[in-house]
Amino acid sequence: MDKRTAAKTAAELREKLNKWADEYYTHDAPSVEDSVYDAAYRQLTEIENEYPEVITSDSPTQQVGDNTLPGFTKVVHEIPMLSLGDVFSKDELSGFINRLAETDSVPFEYNCELKIDGLAISLRYENGIFVQGSTRGNGQIGEDITENLKTIKSIPQKLNKPVTIEVRGECYMPKKSFVDLNDARQRDGQTPFANPRNAAAGSLRQLDPKETAKRKLSTFMYNVADYDDLETNTQSGLLEELKALGFETNPGYQVANNFDDVSSYIDKYQEKRDSLAYGIDGIVIKVNDLNLHRTLGATVKVPRWAIAFKFPPEEAETIVTDIEWTVGRTGVVTPTAVMNPVILAGTTVSRASLHNPDYLEEKDIRIGDTVKLHKAGDIIPEISNYVESKRLQDSEKYLIPTKCPSCGSELVHLDDEVALRCINPMCPAQLTEGLTHFASRNAMNIDGLGPKIIGQLFSKKLLTDVSGLYELNFEDLLTLDKFGEKSATNLLESINNSRQNSLERLLFGLGIRHVGAKAARLIAQKFKNIDEIIKADAETIAQIDTMGMIIADSVVTYFSMPESISLIEKLKSVGVNMDYLGVSEEELESEDSFFSGKKVVLTGKLETMTRGDASSWLTNHGAKVTSSVSKNTDLVIVGTDPGSKYDKAVKLDIPVWEESRFSDEMNQES
């Protein structure tokens, strides 16, 4: 390659890499696999090493991390947060270790740590109190995400010692949280996150901390900005010191004396990575002596005393034998590739989600294709692409269905979302999923009515919609598998009791898109009965505190459909309550209750009631029930094993009631 070709190729690579980096870091929506980005980055690095004159200031080799987003206050890192250099083979790793050995006559110790698939963060403490948290950003300037980080349980608000320190580490999303989040996003017609790292980044960049709290993030801390803050002089000792201060540190680290020790550690965790509760994409090797960190220094982008060994992507080839479409509770229709079974990352895989029609068309997956399969974030089976050389000659482009696979209704796109939906509320697939939701604890709370029983009721044609639950009889239930007289009696009693539920439970149980339990209660509280809700326009609903037009439009759309009105009439005819039985907004404001206007925290296990029942009672008597204790908390009610919230209440001199006193007050006010 001559200089002219090198300059042209470098420019093309820079354009691609900067685009991919923006998608990955800033928008948390990568369009290519990590391995594709890494290969292009290495090619650019090789060109720039051979022709330094082609390096430009906008080259990704000269940048660290991501850009900052609007909506967040900027934080300047007085000591830059650097990225890590990467190696992709043990030969490259050996070269790195050999180069280090040449800089000092004394043999090095190395600390091997797991490379967590998350987002780099910095936490600043003053006299042991958490005062600010930020993202890495571009290494020099990050985003202030303090309030979001306060919602993460593994981040201590107060350290075990009153030290002033800046601690750095990784915020990540556990594998289970990642799967649950993507399931929820697909049900709501949203594009799923590509991997746990992007899910964690997207969660930390929520402008509403309550949304971050729902994502169940965690952290591992592994470094400090200034080593002068430490009592130790080794990286392994630093991890122990951070743990003693109250931080979560990853227990998998190991001190290594030579390349063979490092190599064995890599092999060990490459084998164990699938069994971990969090994602890792490699191993980080650091010189253990912190004094040598200063001596070795850093380049403009990476430290010279550390390197990341990246695991190779594990892929397998298999053949797509079918594409199935399933209908969820909210009507989202999702395509799934059915494939010949193949072993991937330790498990047998025969199915992979194709997410939505746009994704399927972009990938151009067809029945009969040989495809490359990997696990996104080492968790979820995902098709990378089809193998063009193995595509059948008579292959035909897969046509996206226009009819619901369950009921045959026309499928639609709502609000320009990528999801395809069936909006027929009488769709059998939606009804089965919807009935499970209708019977759930936070909805109609029909104890003993789970998915398997609902499936049997549908297959035996004993149900066509939720109103049919209230027409079941003793003989009907005795036809179900493993259902005796006691089971039938208990279920009928539970169904009958649910007729008397307050309106908000019914409203939530209907499964109206975007209407959660809290929104259902606020709407029911405002309009007081179902007929008033049906007559309400979107503007009136949107005026309810915290509601907004998205929820309002969804409610109006639902009740504009004849099928929805028919269902409500059926439920009325079988005696289901349609009125709000709680306390009205006006009554809440004027009620002469001890709890009116107070901020109350519940903690520990209650013996005579559930936490949910206690919370509902408090809310109906004017209290605001919150999840965390602060100086603004008025009262903490404790059960058994109350934990740190009790300790914090005592320290802040906040009144603490045991359950018995709370019960007495309830009896006096009832």
**Pairing of the two strands 129-135 and 110-116:** unpaired
Q: Which single residue is written with the structure tokens 């996150």?
A: 193
How many whole angstroms separate alpha carbon 342 and alpha carbon 315? 10
Strand intervals (E) in 498-654: 599-603, 624-626, 635-638
Query: Token pair of 294, please?
Result: 């200063």
What radius of gyration do the chain's Cα atoms show? 29
**Pairing of the two strands 119-126 and 165-172:** antiparallel
Query: What is the DSSP secondary-structure string of 97-109?
Result: HHHHHTT-SSPPP
Phi, psi of 386 (to 5 degrees): -90, 155
**Pairing of the two strands 656-658 and 86-87:** unpaired
Torsion of CA 323, 325, 326, 332, to 10 degrees: 130
- CA geometry: angle 306, 178, 218, nearest 5 deg: 55
Q: Are 124 and 133 in contact (CB under 8 A)?
A: yes
Q: Are 315 and 122 in contact (CB under 8 A)?
A: no
Q: Is 333 helix (H, G, I), strand (E, B) or coil?
A: strand
Instruction: Give 25: exposed, middle or buried? Use CB within 10 Å, 0-12, 13-18, 19+.
Output: buried
How many whole angstroms separate alpha carbon 133 and alpha carbon 177? 22
Q: Is 498 helix (H, G, I), strand (E, B) or coil?
A: helix
Q: Nearest to residue 470, comparing CAs of 487, 497, 495?
A: 495
115 classed as catalytic: yes
Q: Nearest to residue 163, comparing CAs of 228, 79, 229, 222?
A: 229
Q: Nearest to residue 149, comparing CAs of 76, 222, 200?
A: 200
Cα-to-chain-centroid distance, residue 528: 35
Torsion of CA 131, 136, 141, 144, to 10 degrees: -40
How many whole angstroms separate alpha carbon 326 and alpha carbon 432? 12
Q: Nearest to residue 373, comparing CAs of 320, 322, 316, 313?
A: 316
Query: Choosing from 74, 115, 272, 599, which is the catalytic residue?
Result: 115
For the chain, give percent helix, strand, coil, nearest 5: 40, 20, 40
Question: Other CB atoms closer than 10 Å to residue 119's CB: what's the count?
Answer: 28
Q: Which single residue is written with the structure tokens 């300790």?
A: 647
Query: Token pair of 171, please?
Result: 């915020």
Tell whether the torsion through CA atoms of 151, 153, 159 and 165 is positive or negative: negative
How many whole angstroms separate alpha carbon 356 and alpha carbon 336? 9
List helix spans (H) across 65-145. 90-101
Q: Which residues of 406-432 are buried (b: 16+ CB within 10 A; e: fewer)?
A: beeeebeeeeeeebbbbbbbebbbbbb
Contact partners, residue 602, CB within 8 Å, separation at least 6? 611, 614, 615, 618, 625, 637, 639
Residues labelled catalytic: 115
